[in-house]
Amino acid sequence: MTYIFADRLSILLLFITTLLLHGCGWTDSFFGGEDNTVPPTELNDISETVHIHPLWSKDVGVGLGEAFVALQPAITSSHIYTVDREGQVTALNLGTGSINWQVELDMTITGGISFGDGILVIGNNRGELIVLNDSDGSIKWQKELSSVILSAPVIQDDVLIARTGDGRIYGLSTDDGSQIWVYDRGVPVLTLRGNSSPLLAGKELVFTGFDSGKVAAVGVQHGRLLWEANATVPRGRSDLERLVDIDGNMLLIGRVLYVVTYQGRIVAIDALEGDILWAEKMSSYAGMSADERNLYITDSDSNVWAVDRVSGKRLWKQDKLAYRILTAPVSVGDNVLVGDYEGYVHILSSDGGELIGREKIDGSGFHVQPQVDGDTVFIYGNSGTLHALQIN
């Protein structure tokens, strides 16, 4: 009974905190105060030297609904798979956007979608993993875990690895969902609504970021802990001040793992030993991307940063998109691309961060990080339209 009460309290606090983080004026009328949220920065004219060209767009459901959940599409060599908030799963031709198949699961989806070993995996608000055959979307098996699934699972060598909202990582058989192992880290009283997805390192290791600001490396086949590192340490007197969730994507480049936390730091970690190579102050829940030189991060105020991968030195900051609730950035050639809450796609120069291109693509806005495949950028709109773009 104690656990159930704590979970409901956390959900209430999460709801209020999410509204605060996303600048919703409803909180002011609810609490009877004035609206102190910072308004989104207005867009000024820019000199466009790079242009965004829509290739195709396709309606693939209701999108995220009224929730900001990480429903990033999954890309293979020939298909792109999407899932919407209400459980509509769609398989599209990667080049043309034509729909190959579509199924309705009639459930509230909170995590996914992932592809591997001929299967698709999604998670719902009841803590169920649903595994589909990629050929036609038929259900292969489903299994209930201990808590809501808020991120996309990963698959390696017949092992499906899923993170649940209560701080557990499960290793399951891709054949039938039978449990191979579980690693339990627990969660603080108050967390942001979201989890970073597990990140594979070859066939042996999987990295997971936790709401406590810790990162763990465990074995894919056995789930044993190899190392644990503090990406950041919670500070402050209140639970709100001590929020240090790792909700954005982590990056593995060579043997260096890059992690950014909310109200904490961005760190480079030796992926084999767990040693901190460098650390710089940063706050982000959106995530980051990288090219051969730099990391690109959207911070909690929607400023975009470039940071040197080797030293952690801050190279530039673009603040002309502040408070526009940007997606995590993606590196595209010599450029960096982000989407915003109004449906604009912005192009920044990777050298100095200058705004060099802009196009309004989707009136519902963007929350999910854009994805790049070859010379095509895919971006999933909040209301359920998938867009394919080219940048030149």
Question: For residues 113-145, b (16+ Cβ closer than 10 Å) or e, as one string?
Answer: bbbbeebbbbbbbebebbbbebeebeebbbbeb
Compute the distance between CA of residue 392 and CA of residue 387 in angstroms, rounded to an integer: 16
Instruction: Looking at the chain, list the stretches that DSSP marks H as alpha helix, in order from N- to C-terminal side.
Output: 2-21, 26-31
Identify the pLDDT of residue 200.
97
Range in 74-83, 120-129, 260-269, 340-349 the model is least confident about: 260-269
Domain with residue 331: its CATH number is 2.40.128.630
Residues 6 or more apart whose Cβ sits within 8 Å of residue 245? 191, 192, 194, 211, 213, 261, 262, 285
One domain, residues 358 and 388: yes
- Per-residue pLDDT of 272-300, as tens digits, reads 999 999 999 999 989 999 999 999 999 99
* Domain-located, residue 55: yes
Residues in the chain: 392
Cis peptide before 113 (omega within 30 of 0): yes
Compute the distance between CA of residue 276 and CA of residue 264 in angstroms, rounded to an integer: 14
* Domain-located, residue 32: yes
Compute the distance between CA of residue 106 and CA of residue 129 in angstroms, rounded to an integer: 14
**Average pLDDT value for residue range 6-33:** 39
Which tokens is 278 given? 């460098």
Which tokens is 7 given? 């979970």
With bands split at pLDDT 50, 70 and 90, how would you rate the model's confidence at 206?
very high
Number of domain units in the chain:
2
One domain, residues 26 and 52: no
* Domain-located, residue 154: no
Query: For residue 231, what is the DSSP state?
Result: S
Residue linked to tokens 């989707």: 362
- Per-residue pLDDT of 232-274, as tens digits, reads 866 655 665 555 567 789 999 999 999 998 888 899 999 999 9
Per the CB < 8 A criterion, the answer to whether 91 and 137 are in contact is: yes
Which range marks the domain in which residue 375 is found?
41-66+317-392
Compute the distance between CA of residue 82 and CA of residue 308 in angstroms, rounded to an integer: 33
One domain, residues 344 and 385: yes
Residue type, 212: S
In angstroms, the Cα distances linking 308 to 248, 274, 303, 335 are 19, 20, 17, 16
Compute the distance between CA of residue 101 and CA of residue 299 in angstroms, rounded to an integer: 37
One domain, residues 3 and 62: no
* Domain-located, residue 106: no
With bands split at pLDDT 50, 70 and 90, how would you rate the model's confidence at 16?
very low
* Parallel/antiparallel/unpaired status of strands 168-173 and 179-184: antiparallel
With bands split at pLDDT 50, 70 and 90, how would you rate the model's confidence at 67?
low
Mean pLDDT of the chain: 87
* Domain-located, residue 47: yes
Residues 6 or more apart whose Cβ sits within 8 Å of residue 204? 219, 220, 221
* Domain-located, residue 390: yes
One domain, residues 33 and 60: no
Q: How far is CA 51 from the centre of its chain?
A: 26
pTM (2 decimals)? 0.88
Compute the distance between CA of residue 337 and CA of residue 312 in angstroms, rounded to an integer: 21
Query: CA dihedral in degrees (132, 63, 61, 106; nearest 10)?
Result: 50
Compute the distance between CA of residue 353 and CA of residue 346 in angstroms, rounded to an integer: 11
With bands split at pLDDT 50, 70 and 90, how would you rate the model's confidence at 187?
low
How far from each other are the two terminal CA atoms of the chain, in whole angstroms? 58
